[in-house]
Amino acid sequence: MVEQHCVYLDADDKDLKAHHVVLWKNEEVAGYTRLLPPGISYDTMSIGRVLTTSQFRKHGLGKTLMQYSIEQCRLLFGTGNILIGAQLYLKAFYESFGFKQEGAMYLEDNIPHIQMRLI
């Protein structure tokens, strides 16, 4: 949040209904995702709050984290689509997992985002 100049209390009622994935590397948090069941953010399951901390970027950990998060969504919530609100500059990253853009770009916290779906 600080890195992207979005300084605000991030906890919301969704956190209490989510499964939280934390990626640890050498006893440090290297990444995080929040997995939400259908009906919380979207009508289908979703992955949000995807991050890799700055010191652990460019080592492939984001790919590992995202693949694990997709697998966990399927185990926890069954088959179905997975929706994400992705930062626009990461479109190709999410496309590498099979996500496809839906709709137009929108601003969230003054950052360009797109909705993407994995079928």
Q: Is the pTM higher than 0.85?
A: yes
Distance (Å, whole) CA 100 – CA 92:
10
**Res. 114: pLDDT tops 50:** yes
Could you state, in order of their start, the residue ranges of all structural domains in the chain?
15-118
Distance (Å, whole) CA 27 – CA 90:
27
Q: How many CB atoms lie within 10 A of CB 63?
A: 13
Give the pLDDT confidence score for residue 10 in this predicted structure: 57
The string of pLDDT tens digits covering residues 16-62 is: 999 999 999 999 999 999 999 999 999 999 999 999 999 999 999 99
Helix (H, G, I), strand (E, B) or coil at 98: coil
Parallel/antiparallel/unpaired status of strands 82-87 and 111-118:
antiparallel
The string of pLDDT tens digits covering residues 11-22 is: 678 999 999 999
**Res. 101: pLDDT tops 80:** yes
Cα–Cα distances in Å, from 114 out to 9, 16, 29, 48, 85? 23, 25, 27, 13, 6
What is the fold, at CATH topology level, of the domain defined by 15-118? Answer: Aminopeptidase (3.40.630)
If you ran DSSP here, which 8-state letter would residue 55 be given? G
Q: Give me the phi and psi of 82, to 5 degrees please.
A: -120, 125
Give the pLDDT confidence score for residue 1 in this predicted structure: 43
